[in-house]
Amino acid sequence: MIDKALYALPLALALVSTASSAKAPEDILDELAAKSKSAYLTQSPQNRMMMPDNPAYIVAEEGEALFKQKRGPKNASLEQCDFGKGPGVLKGAYVELPRYFPDTGRVMDLESRLVHCMRTLQGFTNDDPQIKQRHGNTDITKLMTFIAIQSNGMPWNPPTNHPLEKAYRDAGEVLFYRRSGTLDFNCATCHKQTGGRIRASYLPNVTIPEEWTKAISWPAYRTSQETVRSSQHRVLECLWQMRYPNIKSDSDVMLALISFWTDAARGQPAILPDLKR
């Protein structure tokens, strides 16, 4: 991780200069922490110090190369993929996801939309490693990191105009507060109180937008795992800790939860890429 960080600073400066926000992720975090006086936002000064050298910048650079590269059976790039703002438009697209896409008739988040474009534009199938391998140092992770940081500093603003967008958001809220599983937990067990902790770690409160925007700012580099993780991976990991059954990637349940948690951070600036424990 340290070796990667040595190469990250020049790349970080280059990406920040071309991203949608003039502010670096660490500056956005500092402003939120000063505003809210949150223990959650200030609990890891070591991680804050590492943010300018975030290894996620390297992952994003690799993602940019993949995004522009012609690949797959159709020998096409992803530059015509529409993430909601038109083919190839990335600036501000991520903070307005999940959203309804008429061409699929579904509400989709960044990961599911990216997979859709890899299938339709490039010709990959579900069995190809480019799509099948979702988590860790994968093509999907690299591409999502590159796409997401184009929305750094922009406010979360997922649309709710279409009936399905509102339905997914509302279903996600029900799932967030529904107690079930062998431990009779729900998401709110950990995320509906201020100053709550698991061992030494403070937990974000879904009702405090300044905290919640950091909580949902994925993709992010996890120092404890030495890799970049996605929103869907975070949901899977939370449910595993709650002893819930696993849910499928891109499923309605997955997208409903992500729709609700994004809506809960509405109006707050995204911290992309973030660096978490």
Q: From the candidates 81, 117, 187, 238, which is the catalytic residue?
A: 238
196-203 — which CB contacts under 8 Å span 24+ positions? 201/43, 201/277, 202/39, 202/40, 202/43, 203/40
Residue 187 is a catalytic residue:
no
Angle at CA 86, nearest 5°, toward 214 and 142? 45
- Tokens representing 253 are 């349940």
| Maximum pairwise Cα distance, the chain | 52
Helices in the chain by DSSP H: which ranges? 2-18, 25-36, 39-42, 45-50, 56-68, 110-120, 129-132, 139-148, 163-177, 188-191, 209-215, 231-241, 252-264
Query: 121 and 80 in contact (C-beta within 8 Å)?
Result: yes
The H or E element spanning position 265 is: none
The C-alpha atoms of residue 130 and residue 133 are separated, in whole angstroms, by 6
Which residues form the catalytic set?
238
